[in-house]
Chain A
Amino acid sequence: MDLGFAEQIGFRALTLLTFLPTIGALIMLVFMRGRPNAYKTTALVTSLAAFALSVFMIFNFDTSTAAFQFQENFSWIESYGITYHLGVDGISMLLITLTTFLSVIAIVGSWNYVDDREIGFFISLLLLETGMLGVFGAMDLFLFYVFWEIQLIPMYFLIGVWGGGRRIYSAVKFFLYTFTGSVLMLVSILAIVWWFAEQNGAPTFDIQTLQAAGFPPGLQFWAFMGFFVAFAIKVPMFPVHTWLPDAHVDAPTAGSVILAGVLLKMGVYGMIRFCVGFFPEVTVKAIPWVMVLSVIGIIYGAAMSLIQSDMKRLVAYSSVSHMGFITMGLFAFNLQGVEGSVLQMVNHGILTGALFQMVGFFYERSHTREIKDYGGVARPLPVAAAFFSLFVLGSLGLPGLNGFVGEFLILVGVFQYAKVFAVLACVGIILGAAYLLWMYQRTMFQDLTNKKWLSYKDLNLREIVTLAPLAIMAIWIGVWPEPFLNMLHAPAENIIAQVQPYMAQQDSVFHMASTFLGGF
Chain B
Amino acid sequence: MPDFTAPTPEMIVVLPELLLVAAVFLILLVDPFTGRDRTAVVAIALSGLLASGVAAVALSGQEIVSFGGMVALDGYAVFFKVLFAAAGVLTVLMSPKYLEAHGRHIGEYYALLVLAIVGMDLMAAARDLIAFYVALELMAISSYLLAGFFRNHVRSSEAALKYFITGALASALTLYGISLVYGMTGATNYYQVGQGLLGDPSSVVLALATALIVIGMGFKVSVAPFHMWTPDVYQGAPTPIAGFFSVGPKAAGFSAIVMVLMTVLEASQETWSVLLIFLSLLTMATGTLMALVQKNVKRMLAYSSIAHVGYLLAGLAAMGRAGDSEAGQSVLLYLAAYTFMNLGAFGILAYLKSCNAADFDYSLESMAGLGRRSAPAAILMTLFMFSLTGMPGTAGFIGKFYLFTAVVRADLTWLAVIAVLFSAVSAYYYLRIIVYMFFRETDRELSAEGTPVGAMAAALWASAVCVVLIGLFPSAIWDAAVHALTGFAL
Contact = CB atoms under 8 A, between A and B. Distances in A.
Interface of A: 77-80, 117, 145-147, 149-150, 152-153, 156-157, 160-161, 167-168, 171-172, 175-176, 179-180, 183-184, 186-187, 190-191, 193-194, 222
Contacts of A176: 424, 427-428, 431
A175 B426 CA distance: 12
Contacts of A222: 413
Contact of B391 (A117, A150, A191): A150
A273 B214 CA distance: 45
B421 A78 contact: no
Contacts of A184: 417, 420-421
Contacts of B386: 153
B475 A180 contact: no
Interface in B447-490: 474-475, 478-479, 482
A390 B111 CA distance: 75
B440 A150 contact: no
A179 B438 contact: no
Interface stretch (B226-234, B309-317, B402-410): B402-410
A187 B413 CA distance: 8
A169 B417 CA distance: 26
The DSSP consensus for interface residues of chain A is helix
A160 B408 contact: no
Nearest to A183: B420
B393 A190 contact: no
A150 B392 contact: yes
Contacts of B475: 77-79
Contacts of B15: none
Given A79-B475, A191-B413, A168 B440 contact: yes
B416 interface: yes
A77 B478 contact: yes
Contacts of A180: 421, 424
Q: A77, A176, A184: which has the most chain B beta carbons within 10 Å? A: A77
Nearest to A162: B439
Contacts of B421: 180, 183-184
A179 B423 CA distance: 9
B435 interface: yes
Contact of B439 (A77, A147, A167): A167
A171 B439 contact: yes
B317 to A, nearest CB: 16
Interface residues of B, number: 34
Contacts of A146: 392-393, 397
A187 B404 contact: yes
A398 B408 CA distance: 51
A179 B408 CA distance: 20
Contacts of B393: 146, 150
Contacts of B397: 146, 149
Contacts of A117: 371
A161 to B, nearest CB: 6
Given A79-B475, A161-B438, A187-B413, A194 B424 contact: no
Contacts of B416: 187, 190
Nearest to B392: A146
B431 A172 contact: yes
Given A78-B475, A149-B391, A172 B435 contact: yes
A347 to B, nearest CB: 31
A194 B474 contact: no
A168 B431 CA distance: 10
Contacts of A161: 438-439
A470 to B, nearest CB: 31
Interface of B: 371, 386, 389-393, 397, 401, 404-405, 408-409, 413, 416-417, 420-421, 423-424, 427-428, 431-432, 434-435, 438-440, 474-475, 478-479, 482
Nearest to B329: A79
B367 to A, nearest CB: 14
Given A176-B427, A190-B404, A194-B408, A145 B392 contact: yes
Given A79-B478, A172-B431, A160 B438 contact: yes
A78 B473 CA distance: 11
Contact of A175 (B431, B438, B479): B431
Q: Of residues B389, B401, B423, which shows the largest number of chain A Cβ atoms within 10 Å of its Cβ?
A: B401
A156 B386 CA distance: 12
B408 A190 contact: yes
Contacts of B420: 183-184, 186-187
B475 to A, nearest CB: 5
A194 B411 CA distance: 10
Nearest to B410: A194
Most buried by A among B423, B438, B479: B438
B159 to A, nearest CB: 32
A149 B389 CA distance: 11
B267 to A, nearest CB: 27
Given A146-B392, A172-B431, A77 B423 contact: no
A374 to B, nearest CB: 30
Given A149-B392, A153-B386, A176-B427, A187 B408 contact: yes
Given A149-B392, A187-B408, 14 more contacts: A77-B478, A146-B392, A146-B397, A150-B391, A150-B392, A161-B438, A171-B439, A176-B428, A176-B431, A180-B421, A180-B424, A183-B423, A187-B417, A222-B413
A207 B474 CA distance: 21
A78 to B, nearest CB: 7
A77 B435 contact: no
Contacts of A79: 475, 478-479, 482
Nearest to B432: A172
B262 to A, nearest CB: 21
A80 B438 CA distance: 37
A156 B440 CA distance: 14
A140 to B, nearest CB: 12
Nearest to A147: B392
Contacts of B413: 187, 191, 222
A168 B435 contact: yes
12 contacts: A147-B392, A150-B391, A152-B391, A153-B391, A167-B439, A172-B435, A176-B427, A183-B420, A183-B424, A186-B404, A190-B405, A193-B405
A184 B475 CA distance: 25
Q: Which of A117, A153, A167 has the most CB of B within 10 A?
A: A153
A175 B393 CA distance: 17
Nearest to A157: B438
A190 B401 CA distance: 8
A118 to B, nearest CB: 14
Nearest to A80: B405
A80 B393 CA distance: 17
A292 to B, nearest CB: 26
A146 B435 CA distance: 23
B392 A191 contact: no
Given A77-B478, A171-B439, A179 B424 contact: yes
B427 A194 contact: no
A153 B405 CA distance: 24
Contacts of B389: 179
Contacts of B434: 156, 160
A251 to B, nearest CB: 13
Nearest to B409: A194
Contacts of B479: 79
A391 B475 CA distance: 50
Contacts of A172: 428, 431-432, 435
Nearest to A180: B424
A168 B368 CA distance: 13
A194 B391 CA distance: 22
A326 B401 CA distance: 32
B365 to A, nearest CB: 14
A77 B424 contact: no
Contacts of A149: 391-392, 397
Nearest to B389: A179
A170 to B, nearest CB: 11
A387 B440 CA distance: 37
Contacts of A186: 401, 404, 420
B305 to A, nearest CB: 20
